[in-house]
Amino acid sequence: MCTVSFIYRGNKDFMLISNRDEAVNRKTTPPKQYEDNGISFVYPKDEVAGGTWIGASSKNRLLCLLNGAFVKHDRKSCYKKSRGVIVKELLEIDDVFIEINKYDFSGVEPFTLLIVDWNSELKLIELIWDGTNTQITDLPLEPKIWSSSTLYNSEMKEFRQRWFQEYLSQNGSSSEELLYFHEHYGVGDPMLDLKIDRGLLKTVSITMFEKNEEDIQVVYKDLLHDSISELMFNSMLMSDGK
C-alpha cells in the first residue's frame, strides 16, 4: 500500500483519502468505532495483524500509513512489530510529537507515516523510517499526494503528482471529485493508474476521512466487493480524549 492525498479546508478542517494496494486475499473489516482504555477510535481493521493503515482517535489525531520509505527496500523474513499496530499505538498516546521523537522503531519494516493533529492548530507531519534512521518533517498545509515506494518508482510518483495537480486545477477538490480521482484517474495502465491491478495485488479499497468542524465523515469503498460504507463521527465526542 498505497496512495494518499491530503487537502486542507481551512481552520482545523481537512480531507485525507487513502487507496489500499494489497493482496486480494488479505481480509479487512470496514471502518468501525472502537472503545479502549477510555479512548474512542475509528478505523478499518487488518484482520491478519490486528492493526490498521488509517484511523482517527479521541486524541484529536488521524494517522495514515504507507509501506516503504524513500526507495523500495529488500524485505526481511520477519520483523519485530507490525507497522499497523504502531499506528494504533500512536493514536492512543497524549502527545504524539514527543512520542515519535523517542520511539524505538528498530526491527520495524520501513514505512512512511502521515500524522494529522488538531489539538491546537492543525498540523501535518510526515515521519519516514528507512530501517535505520527516522526523518520527521512538518509539512505545509498544501494539497499533496504520496505514493508508496514499495510499489511505485520515482518516475511513477512524478506522473501521479502531475495528474493530481492537473486534476485539482480542472475539477476542484470536493470529496466527490477526489474520490473519483482515486478510483478512476490514470492513462489506462493498471500498473500505474490510481486504481492498480497487478494480478493478486490490487487496489482493494479507498478510505476517506473528511473533517468539517465538529463532524468527521468516513467513507470506505470496498473495490473487491463493490460496496460502500459510511460513518459520521462527531468530533465533539473526541475532544475530551486528551
Encode pLDDT of 186-229 as tens digits: 999 999 999 999 999 999 999 999 999 878 999 999 999 999 99
CA neighbor of 80 nearest in space, from 122, 53, 49: 49
DSSP-assigned letter for residue 61: E
Q: What is the pTM of this model?
A: 0.94
Q: CA-to-CA distance for 44 and 55, rounded, in angstroms?
A: 7
Confidence tier at 48 by pLDDT (50, 70, 90)? confident
Q: Is the pLDDT of residue 238 over 50?
A: no
User: Residue 227: CA atoms inside 13 Å, Cβ hemisphere, count?
Assistant: 7
Domains of the chain: 3-238 (3.60.60.10)
Q: Across residues 38-46, what is the average pLDDT?
A: 92
The answer to whether the bond into 2 is cis (omega within 30° of 0) is yes
